Structure 1
Amino acid sequence: MSALSESLWRCYTHPASAAASTESNTEGWRRQQTREGFATVTEAIRSPHLVDEAGYLTVEYDPVQETAHRVGRALHAIGDQALTDAVVTDVEAEIGAVENAELGDLTGRAAQAVVLSRTDASPSQVAAADAVLDKDPLGGSELFRELEPTAAAIAAAHWLKAAADVTSDLSGIPAEQVVAAADDIEALPYRTPTAVLGLYPFADSPRSIIVEMISDAMLIAEGLAPADLDLAPGDEEADDEDEPVRLTLLDPSRPARDLLEDLLIGIHACRLLYAEYTDADDLTDEDDDIEDDRRDEIDEAFRVAVRARAVQDRGRLL
């Protein structure tokens, strides 16, 4: 049952739409065949392939189909119809959860998708993440509790660029360097958000940047190498050529959530630099002794400026 669930959810994390091609015998074609096999899973459980009179057993190449037949063979050996009915009901609920997640509905059983990395993103989930960041450009817990991490990362990349542009206008530091510059104020993991900002001139949208980074990390997690792999991304400062190189800036075991965390840290870094270059005398707070109030006022000014820039450039997100 665990193997079957894993195979079902792989259709969500590795959709055919994210493959390079869906022509016959390509990876995308195989993914599509697997996804279309959802309709036959319960039948495979109820009537699995069994060893025939000659001692042969038909084994399916498709992982979803084969794991369904394995569940069916175990139930056949047990021989309890009530148990079989209960398992089929549970599997139907799991399939429904995957289908709901594909549509961007992460309620109920589909909520498990919030911890999965996906090589695609639901437009409705991207819009929902954008709404969370519009409410507070520094982020919100809903990004981790209620939304696809890939979709949330796409929206966060858009807001990071807005924050970097606002901070660049104020400080004179190039937008792609503001997060790294903030590392002089507070130690933080700046390489990933800096890499994302550096890719904006070469990408048509934050979606293409984020999906490619996550897809590459997911390939590496499976022992595969992207065709255009950079053997040492982010290791330009390494002095020892014998040091291991990083194949990806992300944690391969959880790339989407790792990327989302780093992008939000990048927005925080922009806020730090924004505060560093803000002239407190230009703010409306007249009591110089109340540092917390001044900090809150600077933070609010940052939020307002970033929100306006994100709205102005929202076309790249859509």
Structure 2
Amino acid sequence: MTRYSVDPDRGELIATWGTGEGDLSTRIAALPATAGSSALLALARALALLSDAAWRTYTHPAGAAGSLEPNTEGWRREEERKHFAEVVDAITKPHLPSGGAVMVSYSHLLESANRVGRALHHLDAPDLTAAVLAEASGYEPTQVVLEADNIESLPHETPTLALGLIDDGATPHQAVTGLVRHATHITDGLLPDPTALREQLDDLEETVAEYTGEVEPDLADIALRLTPLDPKRPARDLLEDLLTGIHACWLLHSEYDEDDTEGLGTADEAEDWDDEQAEQHQHASRERFAQLVRETAAHHRDRLI
């Protein structure tokens, strides 16, 4: 489970999580310099509560409670899991105090998201809100391009493979050079990783068997790619695919960041936009995303190739 804390010296929001062999941490966003410590700590606490509520839906699945009949514990757990789709809206449009009272959700998950939203509303820092919503999409980095493929058809194999290599511990430099080197070996007529090929063949046979229903399917007429890159131009092909990966990140950013609709009404009104409004929204969204990418690249410039 992820926990959140404030680094007062650096003015940063930090996320930490245990690995079983010690804790790891990462910087989420810079915090507004003018904000008081109590407001910042309230945000960190609200995020930790949201993380705890989300984690509980995995550690306490509905199926483990037995009955799913209405108003049983299993039913309540199943309903809580369904509320994930409403978390982003609760953060961006939280229940705010009115007349000395505030509406409280029966869902622990949604109420936690509302607390995060109220804390962000109090801080009034759009960049901080945007950074939290990148976290709130809920997708692992290795799944970003695959999820974006559901929004717009994308060649997702190579960027997903690169993200997987980095997730397994490779540096960005090692990931991309390794993929290019693998492709050039194949161009030279060499098979650089026989063990990986054997695993590919096993996976292919299982997939075909599942599709055809045959215990021992005939693979004679099925082609298997030895590399996801074009062996004739691997470096250029990898660059194009990684740019596609960045585009995939923008698709998810546009899907979750409601600040992109500023000046154009709410996201719910998008269906009524004319072509000019839709184009204006897309342009503003790309500009906003590009700025966030530049800021992140500047902060992690030591990781750039």
User: Larger RCO: Structure 1 or Structure 2 (Cα < 8 Å, ≥ 6 residues apart)?
Assistant: 1
TM over 0.5: no
Rg bigger for which structure?
A: 1
Bin for the TM-score computed over the shorter chain: 0.3 to 0.5
Normalization by structure 2: what TM-score?
0.45
* Higher percent of residues as strand: 2
TM-score for the superposition, normalised by structure 1? 0.43
